[in-house]
Amino acid sequence: MKIYNTLTGKKEEFVPINDGKVTMYVCGPTVYNYFHIGNARPFIVFDTFRNYLKYKGFEVIYVQNITDVDDKIINKAKEKNTTFEKVAEKYTKAYFDDIEKLKIEKPDKSPKATEEIKEMIELIRVLLEKGYAYIIKDGVYFSVEKFTDYGKLSNKKIDELREGARVEINDQKKNPLDFALWKFAKEGEPYWESPWGKGRPGWHIECSVMSKKYTGADTIDIHAGGIDLTFPHHENEIAQSEAASGKKFVNYWMHNGYVNIKGEKMSKSIGNIILAREVTEKYSAEVIRMFILSAHYRSPLDFTWENIEKIKQAFKDIYYTLQILKQVEKPDVKITIEESSYLKNFIDALDDDFNTPEALAIIFNIIKLVKEQIKKEFTNEIVYSLAIIEKNIIEMCKILKILPEIKKPDEKIIKLMDERNILRKEKKFIEADKIKEEIKKAGYILEDTKTRSFLIHEL
Ligand SMILES: [Zn+2]
Ligand SMILES: [Zn+2]
């Protein structure tokens, strides 16, 4: 399997540190608001990637932090005249509710920043001791110039990074890119005790601490998140972790592209936000996930209601086809990558930097095939081929977590269909059409082929 590694700027063969095991860290939410569909993209992409790793037989440890103290949370609390804890609690719960609606598997660990303060203080202490950090009037800062590899993830030098960066003016900092490890508390702000004074941790330090603590290793296999986290967040994580441990922090860095609205990045400041919960009200998790996976994870993805509606129509195709296949009497078959060229091509696509649009295209090519085959006489050969195809579609949809639930039609409806078929043979078409109407009212469509009819529950 090859994945594109932001650190090297190349597609690389994925080799985990420990055979058969993968440690994975994905940057999590800052809980001061409901998350939007742009935030949902990395959650869905990397949840699906995690599922794929498991399909490939890896044991995966998946860690995702929850930033539950931060300027945005504190400001929201002020605005709402409440405490930062109440704000964080409300939106942490909302986050878990929303990921459940999107059928995102819970991370193995979801550590909260406020519960890891002791470890963060310890890491800051090490960085001070090793000379990578210094104390000024408003906090403890990391000195980027002390870390010679600073900029390696962005593939830029410190001066180049500085030009493009928006940094707060602080004349006590040695370099404008130096970032806070510990922020001293201002009047009325929440704080924790530390050897350097009352305050709270900076944002970046939590990921360095949690990555090590919950995977149990200085070096992990995969660290993932949105492309906007590359700099400064991930660059700073690398600096902190590698300065402290002297070891490589992460072997593979994976970053997903933006979700755009009419070509513009979805963001709070532009005000073009679509919340994930607005979308889950209208579409199933499978449709939303298929929408997210319809673009390559590194490419931008344009969200419009028309686009997701188109995906729903495509999803319907999978849903209807699987219902038809379920109604065909078939032998029980098994498929393997060695024997099934469909599955092999599908896996090859995913092995090539998780190319989900190509994988989806393979599913739809097979569906086209079903449509041709069910028109034909049901010879043993055709029936066997349909059995193989059904297995393939189910397996692929499971891997991408877009498998619709397929139920057999109600006995009552099947009886109606049989009655109708008899009436049609007797050329009693008016009566037959009446029954068709009745079936439609019950939520089913009839698909008539040359040899038989199928019942399809409408989406
Ligand atoms: Zn991160
Ligand atoms: Zn992070």
Region 92-106: what's the mean pLDDT?
98
**Span 70-91, pLDDT tens digits:** 999 999 999 999 999 999 999 9
Q: Which backbone phi and psi does 162 adopt, to 5 degrees? A: -65, -35
Q: Does the residue 273 lie in any domain?
A: no
Q: Is 442 exposed, middle or buried (0-12, 13-18, 19+ CB in 10 A)?
A: middle
In terms of domains, do 186 and 147 share one? Answer: yes
CA of 228 to the centre of ligand 1 (A): 10
What pLDDT score does 10 carry? 98
CA of 234 to the centre of ligand 2 (A): 7
Closest C-alpha among 403, 419, 428, 423 to residue 455: 419
What pLDDT score does 387 carry? 96
In terms of domains, do 244 and 338 share one? Answer: no
The residue type found at 46 is: F
Residue 10, SS3 per DSSP: strand
CA of 253 to the centre of ligand 2 (A): 12
Q: Does the residue 63 lie in any domain?
A: yes
CA of 234 to the centre of ligand 1 (A): 5
pLDDT band, residue 66 (cuts 50/70/90): very high
For 265, residues 6+ apart whose C-beta sits below 8 A from its C-beta are 38, 258, 259
In terms of domains, do 249 and 380 share one? Answer: no
Query: Nearest ligand to the C-alpha of residue 253?
Result: 1
Indicate which CATH number applies to the domain containing 28: 3.40.50.620
% pLDDT > 90, the chain? 91
Taking CA atoms, 228 is separated from 28, 258, 368, in Å, by: 13, 8, 39
Q: What is the dihedral of CA 323, 327, 329, 335, to 10 degrees?
A: 10
The answer on pLDDT for 167 being more than 80 is no
CA distance 284 to 101: 8
pLDDT band, residue 27 (cuts 50/70/90): very high
pLDDT band, residue 169 (cuts 50/70/90): confident
Helices 203-215 and 117-129, interaxial angle, to 10°?
Answer: 100
What pLDDT score does 450 carry? 78
Q: Is 401 exposed, middle or buried (0-12, 13-18, 19+ CB in 10 A)?
A: buried
Q: Is 430 exposed, middle or buried (0-12, 13-18, 19+ CB in 10 A)?
A: exposed
Beta-bridge mates of residue 261: 264
The answer on pLDDT for 107 being more than 80 is yes
Q: Does the residue 279 lie in any domain?
A: no
Q: Does the residue 122 lie in any domain?
A: yes
CA of 215 to the centre of ligand 1 (A): 14
CA of 231 to the centre of ligand 2 (A): 11
What pLDDT score does 80 carry? 97
Higher pLDDT among residues 57 and 267, named by residue: 57
In terms of domains, do 151 and 299 share one? Answer: no
In terms of domains, do 196 and 225 share one? Answer: yes
CA of 70 to the centre of ligand 1 (A): 16
Region 331-352: what's the mean pLDDT?
94
Classify strands 133-136 and 10-13 as parallel, antiparallel or unpaired.
unpaired
What pLDDT score does 56 carry? 97
My answer on whether omega of the bond before 331 falls inside 30° of 0, hence cis, is no
Residues 301, 306, 307, CA angle at the centre, nearest 5°?
30
Query: Nearest ligand to the C-alpha of residue 235?
Result: 1
For 15, residues 6+ apart whose C-beta sits below 8 A from its C-beta are none
Q: Does the residue 261 lie in any domain?
A: no
What pLDDT score does 48 carry? 98
Query: Nearest ligand to the C-alpha of residue 254?
Result: 1
Asked if 127 and 133 touch (Cβ cutoff 8 Å), the reply is: yes
Indicate which CATH number applies to the domain containing 332: 1.20.120.640
Both tokens assigned to 444: 């089913």
In terms of domains, do 381 and 252 share one? Answer: no
Closest C-alpha among 224, 2, 200 to residue 107: 224
What pLDDT score does 339 carry? 85
The answer on pLDDT for 266 being more than 90 is no
Residue 392, SS3 per DSSP: helix
What pLDDT score does 116 carry? 98
Closest C-alpha among 153, 330, 366, 348 to residue 242: 153
Of 237, 256, 275, the one marking the end of a domain is 256
The answer on pLDDT for 438 being more than 90 is yes
In terms of domains, do 177 and 292 share one? Answer: no
Region 368-393: what's the mean pLDDT?
94
CA of 300 to the centre of ligand 2 (A): 21
Region 415-429: what's the mean pLDDT?
94
The answer on pLDDT for 422 being more than 90 is yes
Q: Does the residue 230 lie in any domain?
A: yes
Asked if 153 and 234 touch (Cβ cutoff 8 Å), the reply is: yes
CA distance 282 to 39: 18
CA of 204 to the centre of ligand 2 (A): 6
The answer on pLDDT for 268 being more than 90 is no
**Span 192-240, pLDDT tens digits:** 999 999 999 999 999 999 999 999 999 999 999 999 999 999 999 999 9
In terms of domains, do 379 and 250 share one? Answer: no
Mean pLDDT of the chain: 96
In terms of domains, do 100 and 207 share one? Answer: yes
pLDDT band, residue 147 (cuts 50/70/90): very high
Number of domains comprising the chain? 3
DSSP 220-279: EEEEEEEGGGIIIIIHHHHHHHHHHHSS-SEEEEEEE--EEETTEE--TTTT---BHHHH
Longest dimension (CA), the chain: 93
Closest C-alpha among 228, 268, 281 to residue 42: 228
Asked if 293 and 400 touch (Cβ cutoff 8 Å), the reply is: yes
Lowest mean pLDDT among 268-272, 333-337, 455-459: 268-272
In terms of domains, do 122 and 211 share one? Answer: yes
**Span 270-321, pLDDT tens digits:** 888 999 999 999 999 999 999 999 999 999 999 999 999 999 999 999 999 9
Query: Nearest ligand to the C-alpha of residue 225?
Result: 1
CA distance 323 to 390: 10
- The boundaries of the domain holding residue 322 are 285-400
Tell me the Ramachandran region of residue 163: left when phi exceeds 0, alpha when psi lies from -120 to 50, beta otherwise: alpha
Query: Nearest ligand to the C-alpha of residue 206?
Result: 2
**Per-chain residues with Cβ under 5 A from ion ligand 1:** 27, 207, 225
The predicted model scores a pTM of 0.96
The answer on pLDDT for 263 being more than 90 is no
Q: Does the residue 308 lie in any domain?
A: yes
In terms of domains, do 324 and 188 share one? Answer: no
In terms of domains, do 424 and 396 share one? Answer: no
CA of 137 to the centre of ligand 1 (A): 28
pLDDT band, residue 191 (cuts 50/70/90): very high
- Measured between its terminal Cα atoms, the distance across the chain in Å is 36
Q: Does the residue 191 lie in any domain?
A: yes
DSSP for residue 30: B
The size of the chain, in residues, is 459
Region 344-365: what's the mean pLDDT?
98
Query: Nearest ligand to the C-alpha of residue 226?
Result: 1
Q: Please report how many Cα atoms fall inside a 13 Å half-sphere around the Cα of residue 359, on the Cβ side.
A: 32
For 366, residues 6+ apart whose C-beta sits below 8 A from its C-beta are 342, 389, 392, 393
The answer on pLDDT for 146 being more than 80 is yes
What pLDDT score does 171 carry? 81
CA distance 168 to 166: 7
